[in-house]
């Protein structure tokens, strides 16, 4: 029997939490032989605590063989004590009339506090996935506030954007999602995100030979970039089960490897492809041995450079705003 891994999840009683926790405990994220100590964080108010208790009752009622223990707290330091993996989901979602970046004012402070708490009590090599929006910049905040932890390990979720692109391509070309390779989404989980078909293949054939450029730039890219808004309009709530699924995919591949496949993770830039060092930026990565590597050596066309530059601009502007928030916090 393996030793349990300590997994912290914030926003445990929210929409995403309700899809995510049950899949973590059934072994979808870390494997069917990996026991888990689950540590939940919710807001300190009666409704959130009650909802959190209800979720724990349901987790109990599933009798998950892999769930070694579960605890719930409204104190970040208690929740993150010894945590080896943290999924930072707890944050306000946007409403139909908002951009994700409009959430910075509401959510930035959460990631200042949680970054500081992790810095004091988490495993120094903790792997962090930020889901709460705007997730790239929130991951940047948490990393800045946790100088004692491994900075590479502060990542944000763009796997949902990749999964959305894969499904659009599979519908368009009538293929299986598993036939598709080398299709990353660069940049920010925001309006400028860049689903990049340049190197994508379907059963080994270049996707760009199978679709026309107009469909790519005028249909696919806007459809993926506005999918979150389309779901909010349709459901009245932001995506939840698909977001939880993407979080599972992100952490599973990071921990257990992507078998040579490119996957999209937003990670601290090392300066690759002209992206300023330190921005939390969506890149194509390959995961192996519990780590990720940005795919290197790609020749970028002017079209790719221009799309990447728009994301650099958006994230640089957000970084300027939050640098002030961090300095004042």
Ligand X SMILES: NC(=O)c1ccc[n+]([C@@H]2O[C@H](COP(=O)([O-])OP(=O)(O)OC[C@H]3O[C@@H](n4cnc5c(N)ncnc54)[C@H](O)[C@@H]3O)[C@@H](O)[C@H]2O)c1
Residue with token string 């002209």: 274
- Shorter beta-carbon distance to ligand X: residue 117 or 211: 117
| Interaction of residue 106 with ligand LMR, rule CB under 6 A | no
Q: Is 226 left (phi over 0), alpha (psi -120 to 50) or beta?
A: alpha
- Residues in 188-227 at the binding interface with ligand LMR, rule: CB under 6 A: none
> Measured in whole angstroms, how far is the alpha carbon of residue 174 from the centre of its chain?
28
Q: Which of 171, 189, 237, 250 does the annotation list as catalytic?
A: 189
265 binds, among ligand X, ligand LMR, none (CB under 5 to 8 A by kind): none
> For this structure, is 171 an active site residue?
no
Shortest Cβ 240–ligand X spacing (Å)? 5
- Residues in 10-39 at the binding interface with ligand X, rule: CB under 6 A: 10-11, 13-17
SS3 293: strand
Task: Round to whole Å and give the CA distance between 326 and 329.
Answer: 5
| Interaction of residue 239 with ligand LMR, rule CB under 6 A | yes
Shortest Cβ 246–ligand LMR spacing (Å)? 9
Q: Using CB under 6 A, pick the residue from 101, 163, 239, 311 that binds ligand X.
A: 239
Task: Round to whole Å and give the CA distance between 182 and 197.
Answer: 8
| Interaction of residue 110 with ligand X, rule CB under 6 A | yes
Question: In Å, how far are 88, 100, 122, 208, 314 from 217, measured between CA atoms?
Answer: 32, 22, 43, 12, 19
Q: What is the DSSP string of 130-148?
A: E-SSSHHHHHHHHHHT-TT
Cβ neighbours of residue 64 under 8 Å, at least 6 residues apart?
A: 25, 26
Task: Round to whole Å and give the CA distance between 19 and 25.
Answer: 11
- Shorter beta-carbon distance to ligand X: residue 211 or 243: 243
Task: Round to whole Å and give the CA distance between 169 and 146.
Answer: 39
Shortest Cβ 146–ligand X spacing (Å)? 16
* Interaction pattern, residues 157-186, with ligand X; x per rule: CB under 6 A: x--x--------------------------
**Cβ 315 vs Cβ 279: under 8 Å:** yes
123 binds, among ligand X, ligand LMR, none (CB under 5 to 8 A by kind): none
SS3 219: helix
231 binds, among ligand X, ligand LMR, none (CB under 5 to 8 A by kind): ligand LMR
- Shorter beta-carbon distance to ligand X: residue 92 or 152: 92
Known binding-site positions for NAD(+) = 11-17, 107, 114, 131-133
Catalytic residues: 189
Q: Footprint of ligand X on this chain (CB under 6 A)?
A: 10-11, 13-17, 41-43, 48, 89-94, 110, 131-133, 135, 157, 160, 189, 238-240, 243
């Amino acid at each position: 029997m393996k030793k349990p891994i300590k997994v912290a999840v914030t926003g445990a009683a929210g929409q995403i939490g309700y899809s995510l926790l049950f899949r973590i405990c059934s072994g979808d994220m870390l494997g069917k032989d990996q026991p888990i100590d689950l540590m939940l964080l919710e807001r300190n108010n009666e409704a959130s605590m009650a909802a959190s208790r209800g979720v724990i009752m349901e987790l109990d009622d599933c009798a998950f063989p892999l769930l070694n223990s579960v605890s719930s707290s409204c104190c970040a330091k208690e929740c993150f004590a010894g945590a080896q993996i943290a999924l930072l989901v707890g944050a306000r979602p946007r409403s139909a009339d908002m951009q994700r970046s409009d959430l910075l004012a509401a959510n930035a402070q959460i990631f200042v506090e949680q970054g500081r708490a992790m810095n004091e009590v988490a495993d120094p090599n903790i792997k962090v996935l930020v889901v709460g929006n705007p997730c790239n910049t929130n991951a940047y905040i948490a990393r800045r506030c946790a100088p004692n932890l491994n900075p590479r390990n502060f990542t944000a979720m763009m796997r949902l954007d990749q999964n959305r692109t894969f499904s659009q391509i599979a519908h368009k070309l009538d293929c299986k999602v598993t036939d598709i390779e080398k299709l990353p989404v660069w940049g920010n989980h925001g309006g400028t995100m860049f689903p990049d078909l340049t190197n994508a293949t379907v059963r080994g054939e270049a996707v760009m030979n199978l679709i026309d450029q107009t469909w790519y730039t005028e249909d696919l890219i806007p459809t993926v970039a506005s999918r979150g808004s389309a779901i909010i309009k349709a459901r009245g709530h932001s995506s939840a089960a698909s977001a939880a699924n993407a979080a599972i995919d992100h952490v599973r591949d990071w921990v257990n490897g992507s078998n040579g496949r490119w996957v999209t993770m937003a990670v601290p830039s090392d300066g690759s492809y002209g992206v300023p060092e330190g921005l939390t930026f969506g890149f194509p990565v390959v995961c192996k041995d519990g780590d990720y590597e940005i795919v290197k050596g790609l020749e970028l066309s002017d079209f790719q450079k221009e799309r990447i530059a728009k994301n650099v601009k958006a994230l640089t502007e957000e970084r300027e705003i939050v640098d002030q928030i961090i300095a004042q916090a």
